[in-house]
Amino acid sequence: MHQGAKYFAGKLNQCLDEIDAPASLRDRAAILSSTFDIPKQQAWHLLEGQQFPSEDLLKAIAAEFEVDYNWLVGQK
């Protein structure tokens, strides 16, 4: 597992909190799956910090949630 996966998961969940997404992991995975055209299982792994996203997906997430890429991945 990527060392930053847990950190990223926290930031991703924070982004979802900001848009008032439902708290359930199932609902959040469905939102990510449809928004970014990824399998629900992958979305689930991202939310739980079990997988680190690809560079392209990271950029798409940062753009969609209007957050800084470096903030999302924990770089300064």
Q: What are the extents of the domains in the chain?
A: 5-73
The class of domain 5-73 in CATH terms is mainly alpha
Question: Residues 15-22: what's their mean pLDDT?
Answer: 97
Question: Residues 67-74: what's their mean pLDDT?
Answer: 93
Question: Residues 34-45: what's their mean pLDDT?
Answer: 97
Question: Residues 15-44: what's their mean pLDDT?
Answer: 97
Report long-range pairs for 33-37 (Cβ below 8 Å, ≥24 apart): 35/64, 36/60, 36/61, 36/64
Is the entire prediction scored with pTM above 0.85?
yes
CA angle 39, 31, 27 (to 5 degrees): 100
Q: Which tokens in the block code for residue 2?
A: 């990527």
Q: Specify the pLDDT at position 74.
A: 87
pLDDT at 2 over 70: no
